[in-house]
Structure 1
Amino acid sequence: MTEPRRTLLHTSTIPVRWGDMDAYAHVNNTIYFRYCEQARVEWIEAMGYPVLTEAGTGPVIINAACTFLIPITYPATVIVRLYAGEPGRSSVMTWYDIRTEGDDRLFAEGSAKVVWMDHESGKSVPLPDALRQTLVV
């Protein structure tokens, strides 16, 4: 089976906070999802789409996953690279590589499926054309 095409779309730099750690003195597993979320929000907002709207359409996540490979500890700066695959009608798969500044090792990798949704009806709608154009290379 061939790997899906992945295009690098955004890189986020996020400082690890003392409170991100758990009792085992490494970043708590739930925080990795926050790091991916931050990269995704930055990317969507950089495209000109507000992530919080009371009406209209916008992105939602229908699933998310993370594989933890190496513990991250404080102090550190996390580098999250966001990749996307081929767009569907209303969705696009995204992937995340999580590394730390000054260290080339892969600390974690994640994924999330982004679906464009009509907030009023709760139903999926086609991805905006301008967003779709950035996903097709």
Structure 2
Amino acid sequence: MTHPRKLVQTSLIPIRWGDMDAYGHVNNTIYFRYMEQVRVEYLEKLGFRVMPRGSAPVIINASCTFLVPLNYPGLVEVRMFCGHPGRSSVPTHYEIRLQGDDTLYATGESKIVWMDVATGKSVPIPEHLRAELPPF
């Protein structure tokens, strides 16, 4: 069963030579950086910043399924989707392709939780972010 989700951000990220591993393809850890970058760009577009006070988004889990190896050179296209939000969290999904190529190279997921920075406790998702999420 697939859950409804909304495309919220697409980012283009160049593959760097240093992203490669001994096997000649992009190292698995770099895929998490690609997902992080699109997520940060989306949240910054909505006016959220990582701040040492107030409330802020944090990631409580992340996963990636590697389907086809990526190689240098290339321009990675990362699509970020948001799913049904809870009180303080929203699931996110990612598709990683090369620009201009329909091949799905990897998929990923993470859960964003809003927290009070001082207490470390979850807080409700800000209303202006909730308004941007998929209607359910």
Runs of 4+ more than 6 Å apart: none
Residue 11 of structure 1 aligns to which amino acid in structure 2? T
Question: What is the TM-score normalised by the length of structure 2?
Answer: 0.98
Q: Does 1:81 align with 2:79?
A: yes
Q: Which residue of 1 aligns with 2:51?
A: 53
The equivalent of 2:67 in structure 1 is 69
AA at the equivalent of 1:103:
D
Q: Distance in 2 between matches of 1:110 and 1:67?
A: 6
TM-score, normalised to structure 1's length? 0.97
**Quick one: distance in 1 between partners of 2:126 and 2:37?**
21
Number of residues of Structure 1 aligned to a counterpart in Structure 2: 135
Q: In 2, Cα distance between the equivalents of 1:40 and 1:132?
A: 15
SS class of match (1:89): coil
- What is the 5 A alignment of 1:1-137? 2-50=1-49, 52-137=50-135
Distance in 2, matches of 1:61 and 1:25, equals 30
Any stretches of 5+ residues in structure 1 without a counterpart? none
SS in 2 for 1:105: coil
SS of structure 2 residue aligned to 1:131: helix
Match of 2:102, SS state, is strand
Q: Distance in 1 between matches of 2:74 and 2:11?
A: 14
Query: Over aligned residue pairs, what C-alpha RMSD do you find?
Result: 0.6
